[in-house]
């Protein structure tokens, strides 16, 4: 037993989340055993953390359009605030070759953030057959960047930008996989024209799973080096668009005032609870 007890939970079975499960999986996330697609794809298991208590306080979408504070994911993130689990013990019980989407909701900071980060490192060190990925809005914190760069090769943390002008800064801090968000007409994905424009204007890869019939389990672009663009999505996308526009209107000096490290974690614990 590792002893990394943190707030949140890991799914007991494959994730049924339609956005991350394989297109070859059933509605319950299990890989099909019969038919033309039998045996294709990989099952995805997921963890959930409570929004606010595990998130950087300077995230532009916190209480302002975050997809995890709306719809079905909101149900899970609220539950995550009432439960604890050991991520290492949870990961050790997963089937051979499983995929892990760490923190579908929440982030990797907060009062127990250090334990959670250590647990991700330990889980993938002990189980090299597992492949994981996640995203963080705390990318500008040197402590988080150093942790992400020191992880085993079978897990990738993506720096999630509120403002695409921060991409060069993220790269200078050593981030190899970076995600930005882009407004699209339907707020769900990219048309061919929109995808071409994003590629031409920014050099980013428009999320393949938001263009064609794929799940994250089939795509796994976020597990490779590069710049990825997501369409602003989720039930709170209208609010998110306003929040992101406001953030992008600020000068860099105004955006770069967030607490980091232990000061940040104490503030989060005092404001939102451990």
In a domain, 61, yes or no: yes
E strand or H helix at 258, and its extent? none
Bridge partners, 101 (sequence order): 46, 133
Note the pLDDT of residue 26: 76
Note the pLDDT of residue 108: 98
Q: Angle between the 142-149 and 113-126 helix axes, to the nearest 10 degrees?
A: 10
In a domain, 1, yes or no: no
E strand or H helix at 68, and its extent? none
Task: Report the distance separating Cα 109 and Cα 58, nearest Å.
Answer: 12
Q: Is 142 left (phi over 0), alpha (psi -120 to 50) or beta?
A: alpha
In a domain, 233, yes or no: yes
In a domain, 2, yes or no: no
Note the pLDDT of residue 114: 96
Task: Give the closest residue to 24 by CA, choosing from 102, 124, 99.
Answer: 99
The string of DSSP codes covering 127-146 is -TT-EEEEEES-TTSHHHHH
| Residue 248, helix vs strand vs coil | helix
| Residue 261, helix vs strand vs coil | helix
pTM, two decimals, is 0.86
Task: Give the closest residue to 86 by CA, choosing from 9, 194, 199, 184.
Answer: 9
Taking only the tens place, the pLDDT of each residue in 192-216 is 999 999 999 999 999 998 888 888 9
The string of DSSP codes covering 187-244 is SS---HHHHHHHHHHH--EE-GGGTSS--HHHH-GGGSSEEEEEE--STTHHHHHHHH
- Domain residues for the domain of 27 are 7-272
Tokens found for residue 59: 């995230």
In a domain, 58, yes or no: yes
- Ranges of the chain whose pLDDT falls below 70: 1-2, 29, 32-41, 233-237, 239-244, 246-274
* Total of domains in the chain: 1
Task: Report the distance separating Cα 171 and Cα 176, nearest Å.
Answer: 7
Taking only the tens place, the pLDDT of each residue in 215-266 is 899 999 999 999 999 987 666 667 666 666 766 666 554 445 455 566 656 6
Note the pLDDT of residue 222: 94
């Amino acid at each position: 037993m590792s002893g990394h007890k943190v707030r949140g939970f890991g799914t007991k079975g494959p994730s049924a989340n339609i956005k991350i499960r394989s297109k070859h999986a059933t509605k319950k996330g299990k890989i099909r055993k019969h038919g033309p697609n039998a045996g294709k794809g990989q099952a995805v298991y997921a963890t959930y953390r409570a929004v606010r208590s595990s998130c950087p306080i300077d995230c532009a979408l916190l209480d302002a359009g975050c997809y995890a504070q709306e719809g079905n994911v909101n149900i899970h993130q609220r539950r995550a605030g009432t439960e604890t689990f050991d991520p290492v013990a949870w990961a050790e019980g997963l089937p051979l070759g499983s995929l892990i989407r760490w923190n579908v909701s929440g982030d990797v900071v907060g009062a127990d953030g250090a334990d959670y980060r250590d647990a991700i490192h330990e889980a993938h060190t002990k189980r090299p057959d597992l492949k994981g990925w996640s995203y963080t809005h705390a990318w500008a914190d040197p402590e988080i960047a150093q942790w992400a760069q020191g992880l085993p090769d079978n897990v990738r943390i993506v720096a999630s930008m509120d403002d695409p002008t921060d991409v060069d800064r993220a790269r200078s801090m050593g981030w190899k996989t970076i995600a930005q968000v882009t407004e699209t007409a339907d707020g769900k994905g990219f048309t061919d024209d929109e995808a071409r424009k994003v590629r031409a204007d920014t050099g980013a890869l428009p999320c393949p799973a938001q263009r064609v019939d794929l799940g994250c389990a089939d795509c796994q672009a976020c597990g490779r080096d590069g710049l990825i663009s997501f369409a602003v999505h989720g039930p709170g996308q209208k609010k998110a668009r306003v929040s992101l526009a406001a953030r992008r209107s600020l000068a860099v000096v105004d955006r770069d005032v967030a607490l980091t490290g232990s000061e940040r974690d104490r503030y989060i614990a005092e404001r939102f609870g451990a």
